[in-house]
Chains A and B, each alone.
Chain A
Amino acid sequence: GAGVSQSPRYKVAKRGQDVALRCDPISGHVSLFWYQQALGQGPEFLTYFQNEAQLDKSGLPSDRFFAERPEGSVSTLKIQRTQQEDSAVYLCASSQLQGGYSNQPQHFGDGTRLSIL
Chain B
Amino acid sequence: AQSVTQLDSHVSVSEGTPVLLRCNYSSSYSPSLFWYVQHPNKGLQLLLKYTSAATLVKGINGFEAEFKKSETSFHLTKPSAHMSDAAEYFCVVSVLNTGFQKLVFGTGTRLLVSP
Chains A and B come from one and the same complex: yes
> Dominant SS at the A interface?
loop
The residues of A that contact B99 with a CB separation of less than 8 Å are: 55, 99-100
CB distance from A109 to the nearest CB of B (A): 5
B36-70 CB mask vs A (1 if < 8 Å, else 0) is: 10000111111001010000000000000000000
CB distance from A35 to the nearest CB of B (A): 8
Q: Number of A interface residues at 8 Å Cβ cutoff, please give it.
A: 29
The residues of A that contact B103 with a CB separation of less than 8 Å are: 33, 35, 43, 45, 106
A3-46 CB mask vs B (1 if < 8 Å, else 0) is: 01000000000000000000000000001010100001111110
A84 to B44, CA, bound (A): 25
CB distance from A80 to the nearest CB of B (A): 25
**Apart from A56-B100, A100-B96, what 9 extra A-B contacts exist at CB < 8 Å?**
A33-B103, A43-B103, A48-B100, A99-B100, A100-B100, A102-B32, A103-B32, A109-B43, A110-B43
Contact B100 A41 (CB under 8 A): no
Chain B residues at the A interface, C-beta cutoff of 8 Å: 32, 34, 36, 41-46, 49, 51, 90, 94, 96-108
The residues of A that contact B102 with a CB separation of less than 8 Å are: 45, 48, 56
Q: How many A-B residue pairs have CB under 8 A?
A: 65
A106 to B102, CA, bound (A): 10
Contact B101 A102 (CB under 8 A): yes
Residue of A nearest to B105 (CB): A42
Q: Contacting B101 at CB < 8 Å: which of A35, A42, A100, A110? A: A100
CB distance from A77 to the nearest CB of B (A): 15
CB distance from A85 to the nearest CB of B (A): 18
A103 to B33, CA, bound (A): 9
The residues of B that contact A70 with a CB separation of less than 8 Å are: none
The residues of A that contact B94 with a CB separation of less than 8 Å are: 102
Residue of A nearest to B34 (CB): A105
CB distance from A112 to the nearest CB of B (A): 11
Looking at B34, B102, B104, the one whose CB has the most chain A CB atoms below 10 A away is B102
Contact A102 B42 (CB under 8 A): no
CB-CB under 8 A for A56 and B98, given A91-B43, A109-B43: yes
